[in-house]
Amino acid sequence: MKMKSVRIFALKQDRKRLLEHLQDSALVHVKHTNEAEQGFLRTDTSAQIKQFERNIGITEQALKILAQIVPEKKGLLASFKGRPEIDPDEIGIIASNSPKIISVCNKIIKLDKQRADYAAEQVRIKTALAQLEPWKKLDIPLNSKDTASTAVLIGTLPRLYDNTSLSEALAAESSDLVFEFEILYASASMTCIVLYAPKYQRTLAEQSLRTLGFSQPINPTSRTPQVKSERLLKKSEEIKVKSEEAKDKIESYAEYREAIARTQDYFLLRSEKYRVISELDQSRHVFVLNGYIPEEDCEKLKKICDSVSSCVLEIEDADEDAPIKLKNNAFAEPAQSIVTMYSTPSKNDIDPTPVLAFFFYFFFGMMFSDAGYGLLMILATTIAIHALKPDKKMRSNLRLFQYCGVSTVFWGLVFGSIFGDAPAVISNLITGGNMTMADLLPWPILDTQKDALMIMIMSIAFGLVHILVGMGCKFFVCLKQKRYAEAFFDTGLWMLLLVGFAVLAAGMAVSQTLVYAGGGIAIACAVGLVLTQGRGKKGIVGKFIGGLASLYDITSYVSDLLSYSRLLALGLTTGVMAQVFNMLATLFGTSVFGIILMVLVFVVGHAITIGLNALGSYVHTMRLQYVEMFSKFYEGGGKPFEPFALHSKSFKVKNSNED
């Protein structure tokens, strides 16, 4: 779509009103410049934007917490539904309620932090209880002091001891040490003991124990381990109750979920508006907005400016930095998302959407290739579009699969596949016959198993057409940019060479005349490539070697053509999987149990087939577009048209022009 550069001059007193109209209309892509023009200044809105972003972060965090604790119950089709519409006046109501909603969000965040603190405290209690568990038999505190005559040493040894082995170990360390001890707990890696010795031998006892690896408890307590454990368990129960209370309180705020989402959108809109304000060139009484607008929307913008007093509009041809906005007819428009997923066209590109759309639908249908599945796609997408009223982006995606469904029906009829061979299988089950789909259908079909070679040849032929169309786009782009040598020598000769090989191959099966014609075209083009592809090299020898070496590129074209064998492979996979499930469904005959099992296997089996093969067809079709065709002519890297608009997530404003 052709873009225009636009400048809007207006009084500062009309700024709020004009910006609101522009945001509602979604017509203008605001131009970013680093500095104001001479005689103008910029307003620093960074403080306001930071506050808006802070509020956005608060609402986002609150929504995440609610989603974790009180998951929103949504139906399977909820993601297809469009956003509810609100009246423009409701934005003012959302704004007036925003302080209250932000306060609610802060309470939710605070309560969630309390729950996190409680959870951390529970971990600490659990750890402390685990540490106390080996000491539960101890009837004195872990930090017990010496008595007037007796030294008390409480701690652990890093290995397993029993009474005999520990006595022997201590005696071996010091034969003079007088001691008594009690083993409270023993495992393969640890022995917990309390040792008593005369107070005057404390140092000797410590030295002997230290040699054995003795260490004191990490967190000695002033109460017995049993009492301490009971207190910790009681505290754990109290924390659990408090955590549940905090969770219940958060759940009570679930009624604010929609209000929080709308408040988040309000601050998103405010943030975007203030970013635009920071881009305005302003004087004491006047401001200037610079941007881009599609040529076809200029009249709409003039009407908006006419509705604002003292507003002047300047429209000129766009410069090199203009963004790109794609516009296509109803058939091609759904495929725009496939193009932009790869990259927005650059100013040197042509819009590949119409070409891509045709081949995307065509190849998807050939890979999915089942009329029953195609009908289901058409019905499902049609119902979703009309019943659920999805947003523009989702509606476009549904249209994409609707057209793919039409192509799938066509190819399913060509291959004689309607839920695999379900009609034939059911007919044979009822009549006891041995019918095939070829017998049932009144037109000739191509069997993906019996006619695999023919379908392979068709796939390669379609691939050749696909590649030639991509190269034709390159030829057109070169002519448009007046790069005539590149158009005729680098693209045209290769196109003719491939056509020559195709005619040659066809002649082998049809006519010797075509063999001669195709061979002649191929040889002439090969000579032309040798003479022209090395034109950038120095010297005659260099030019000749460069031209000769260019013929090696034929291997890449052969490789590209072989990639189209996946059209056969995916089509074959869909058909075989469907037939296998049909066979399994009829294994138990026409008894009541057999009919029930047949329906169950049929539904589940074909659901699996649809899920796997629809995904495979989608991915591989995109690969053929991106790798095989786009590589021939498409550069991408353009800047997408992103208008100043009401980009909200949870609602859309009535009578606005947002997508």
Cα four-point dihedral sign 11, 280, 644, 354 = positive
pLDDT in tens, 63-91: 999 999 999 887 666 777 778 888 888 88
Place of tokens 């410069």: 319
Using DSSP's 3-state secondary structure scheme, residue 468 falls into: helix
The CATH code that applies to domain 143-216 is 3.30.70.2750
Top-ranked range on mean pLDDT: pick from 26-35, 233-242, 434-443, 515-524: 233-242
Neighbour tally for 392: CB within 10 Å: 11
Cβ–Cβ < 8 Å for 263, 59: yes
Residue 209 backbone phi and psi in degrees, to 5: -65, -40
Which H or E run includes 10?
strand 3-11
E-strand stretches of 187-285: 191-198, 281-282
Crossing angle of the two packed helices 566-585 and 592-623, in degrees rounded to 10 = 170
* Counts for the chain of helices (H) and strands (E), in that order: 23, 10
Crossing angle of the two packed helices 566-585 and 422-431, in degrees rounded to 10 = 30
Nearest-angstrom CA–CA distance, 58 and 343: 33
Mean pLDDT, all residues of the chain = 90
Amino acid 510: pLDDT:
79
| Token couple for 43 | 């307003």
At 348, is the pLDDT very low, low, confident or very high (cuts 50, 70, 90)? confident
Amino acid 33: pLDDT:
84
Nearest-angstrom CA–CA distance, 217 and 215: 7
pLDDT in tens, 97-137: 999 999 999 999 999 999 999 999 999 999 999 989 899 89
Nearest-angstrom CA–CA distance, 441 and 437: 6
Cβ–Cβ < 8 Å for 22, 279: no
Amino acid 72: pLDDT:
84
Cβ–Cβ < 8 Å for 221, 142: yes
Nearest-angstrom CA–CA distance, 180 and 162: 14
pLDDT in tens, 621-649: 999 999 999 988 898 889 999 999 988 88
Nearest-angstrom CA–CA distance, 512 and 520: 12
190, pLDDT greater than 90: yes
Cα four-point dihedral sign 390, 393, 396, 397 = negative
Burial of 327 (0-12, 13-18, 19+ CB in 10 A): middle
Nearest-angstrom CA–CA distance, 357 and 407: 12
Top-ranked range on mean pLDDT: pick from 52-66, 297-311, 479-493, 537-551: 52-66
Cα four-point dihedral sign 540, 545, 551, 556 = negative
| Token couple for 609 | 């087939």
Nearest-angstrom CA–CA distance, 61 and 112: 10
Nearest-angstrom CA–CA distance, 80 and 138: 65
In terms of Cα–Cα distance, which of 574, 644, 622, 532 is closest to 368?
Answer: 574
Nearest-angstrom CA–CA distance, 520 and 18: 67
522, pLDDT greater than 60: yes
Q: Which region holds residue 466: left if phi is over 0, alpha if psi is between -120 and 50, else beta?
A: alpha
Rg (CA), the chain: 39
Amino acid 307: pLDDT:
83
| Token couple for 384 | 């979703």
Q: What percent of the chain has pLDDT over 90?
A: 60
Higher-pLDDT residue of 52, 538: 52
AA identity, residue 623: R
491, pLDDT greater than 60: yes
E-strand stretches of 465-511: none
Amino acid 241: pLDDT:
95
Nearest-angstrom CA–CA distance, 444 and 436: 12
Mean pLDDT of 568-590: 89
659, pLDDT greater than 60: no
Cβ–Cβ < 8 Å for 327, 50: no
AA identity, residue 557: Y
Using DSSP's 3-state secondary structure scheme, residue 156 falls into: strand
Which residues, 6+ apart, have CB-to-CB distance to 545 below 8 Å? 534, 537
Q: How far is CA 313 from CA 10, 43, 51, 300, 562, in A?
A: 9, 22, 33, 12, 56
Using DSSP's 3-state secondary structure scheme, residue 349 falls into: coil
Amino acid 657: pLDDT:
67
Cβ–Cβ < 8 Å for 69, 636: no
pLDDT in tens, 236-254: 999 999 999 999 999 999 9
658, pLDDT greater than 80: no
Cβ–Cβ < 8 Å for 351, 2: no
Using DSSP's 3-state secondary structure scheme, residue 143 falls into: coil
Mean pLDDT of 501-518: 86
Nearest-angstrom CA–CA distance, 194 and 151: 10
Give the CA dihedral 24, 28, 31, 36, nearest 10 degrees.
-70
Which residues, 6+ apart, have CB-to-CB distance to 386 below 8 Å? none
Amino acid 606: pLDDT:
93
Residue 295 backbone phi and psi in degrees, to 5: -55, -40
E-strand stretches of 204-358: 281-282, 286-294, 311-317
Using DSSP's 3-state secondary structure scheme, residue 183 falls into: strand
Residues present in the chain in total? 659
Q: Are strands 652-653 and 85-86 parallel, antiparallel or unpaired?
A: parallel
Domain boundaries, the chain: 143-216, 336-430+457-516+551-633
310, pLDDT greater than 90: no
Amino acid 94: pLDDT:
92
